[in-house]
Amino acid sequence: MLFDGKMEYTLFEYELKEKIKYWTDGMVRDNDLFVLILTENRSHIAMLLITKEKEHYINEEARSKLQQLWPNEAYLYNLRKLIPMIAAEISKGIIFVNGVKYKD
């Protein structure tokens, strides 16, 4: 995510695609602005970002959308906070799911 690495669409299809409705429903229920989902399998990465408008972005498009939602230094700052949590989850074989809210 930090270094614009390649992501695998087939991994998205295999591990994330069928759960989009589930995560969208949870995001709406929790009143999140968006939800960020990442998975890893055999050193391949897939990413999904779902917005409050129920749009979903896959892999590199998700990374680009996240950079728009967190412009400039906010993207790097937030990733530095999230990467240890992401690594901990995916190293256990768990899909990382994080709903994001903004404070007023």
Collapse the DSSP code of 12 into the 3-class scheme (helix H, G, I; strand E, B; otherwise coil) and give the result.
helix
pLDDT band at 102 (very low <50, low <70, confident <90, very high): confident
Q: Is the pTM of this model over 0.85?
A: yes
Name which residue leads in pLDDT, 71 or 4.
71
Using the 8-state DSSP alphabet, how is residue 17 labeled? G
Structure tokens at 59: 């892999």
Please check the confidence at residue 2 and state whether its pLDDT lies above 60.
no
Distance between CA atoms of residues 32 and 49, nearest Å = 12
**69 pLDDT above the threshold of 90:** yes
- According to DSSP, the residues that pair with 51 across neighbouring strands are 34
